[in-house]
A and B are shown apart, each in its own frame.
Chain A
Amino acid sequence: MSTGQSHYLEGCGGCHGIQGASAEREIPQLRGLVGRFLYTSAGREYLVRLPNVAFANMNDEVLADVLNFVVFRLGEGSAPPGAQGYTAREVSVLRRHPFKNERLEALRATILADATLRANRGRESDQ
């Protein structure tokens, strides 16, 4: 088991699911989907600035490992082709600006819609 997976399980997997499949009514699904956030810079930043991520009980290196496990492994190919993984440095900067008073569910819907649009455009241009 990788460091990212081990820390994911201990810190996140209880709610998000051991395989990233969760009770969607309460907790956003990660499996096969979460990589899509990397289609936009807003989405990439969003994943780290979420309070449950930014305040996770992990140092920057471990948190970057967890994010990469989540985005690339649990995401199951939902990330854009050739997407760069998170680095500890990037995580360190982003987590200093956690979301505070934003309406997180509305924010997620907007960011995901935009990322989905980009993902679909990418697929159209491939054809």
Chain B
Amino acid sequence: MPDSSGDRLTERLLRALARRTSRRSLLTRIGVLLVAAPAFPLLPVSRGFAAPQAAPPAKSPKPMTDFERNAQTKDPARCDYWRHCAIDGVICGCCGGGIHTCPPGADPSPTSWIGTCLNPDDGRSYLIAYRDCCGKSLCTADKSCMCDSTDREMPIYRPSGDNDIIWCFGGSSMAYHCSTAALVGLAN
């Protein structure tokens, strides 16, 4: 079988290398490699294969939303707080109220709408009741307290899942002041 041009090229390169390199220098280099090898850690890939398979964390099977990827669990007065994944309005915590309490002079609506938010600390989803505080004009808070998160929100023709609605109905006043985000329980 005639030699291919690739074989001939390889042979020429190897012969040129052999001419320029003494056997002793080659042995020295191999020796250095053998001595130095334990100083370098194994690649993480091989460690990953070696490790036993850990149980998967309890988390939502659905892909994470942008909100969920960036959510934090420390400051409820910011829109990226995990419970605010579906809030549309002003956070009551910025208006003299709390995460589940209305500011003085505003009353909790008897109706709310309920969303599902992922807690990044434990990877579990929780039902959150967004209960508007009503009976007082719109709270004038810093712009950073005016949120419009839309995780799992539904269009207006699915009103129970739409957060553009002023959820004050059933109460004495339809004047919207701010929104709370009370924890209802663990979602299935």
**A12 pairs with B127, CB closer than 8 A:** no
* B116: interface (CB < 8 Å): yes
A residues within 8 A CB of B57? none
Residues of B134-188 whose CB lies within 8 A of A: 154, 158, 160-161, 167, 169-171, 184-188
The answer to whether B114 touches A10 (Cβ under 8 A) is yes
Q: Which residues of B contact A25 (CB under 8 A)?
A: 170
Q: Does B91 contact A (CB under 8 A)?
A: no
CB distance from A25 to the nearest CB of B (A): 6
Q: Which residues of A contact B85 (CB under 8 A)?
A: none
Q: Which residue of A lies closest to B171 (CB)?
A: A23
- Of the four ranges (under 10, 10 to 19, 20 to 34, 35 or more), the interface on chain A belongs to 20 to 34
With a CB–CB cut-off of 8 A, which chain B residues contact A26? 111, 169-170
- 18 chain-A/chain-B pairs, Cβ below 8 angstroms: A1-B188, A6-B127, A9-B114, A10-B115, A10-B116, A10-B187, A13-B114, A14-B112, A14-B129, A14-B160, A14-B167, A15-B111, A15-B160, A17-B110, A18-B129, A23-B110, A26-B169, A27-B111
Spell out B's residues near A (CB within 8 Å).
110-116, 127, 129, 154, 158, 160-161, 167, 169-171, 184-188
A contacts, CB < 8 Å to B: 1-3, 6-7, 9-15, 17-18, 22-23, 25-27, 52, 57
Q: Within 8 Å CB of B167, what residues of A?
A: 14
Pick from B113, B185, B186, B188: contact of A14, CB under 8 Å: B113
A12: min CB distance to chain B, Å: 7
Q: Which residues of A contact B161 (CB under 8 A)?
A: 11, 57
Bound: A25/B109 CA distance, A = 13
Point out the residues of chain A lying under 8 angstroms from B187, CB to CB.
1, 6, 10
How distant is the Cα of A2 from the Cα of B161 in the complex, in angstroms? Answer: 21
Q: A18-B129, A27-B170, A52-B160 are in contact. Are A9 and B185 (CB under 8 A)?
A: yes
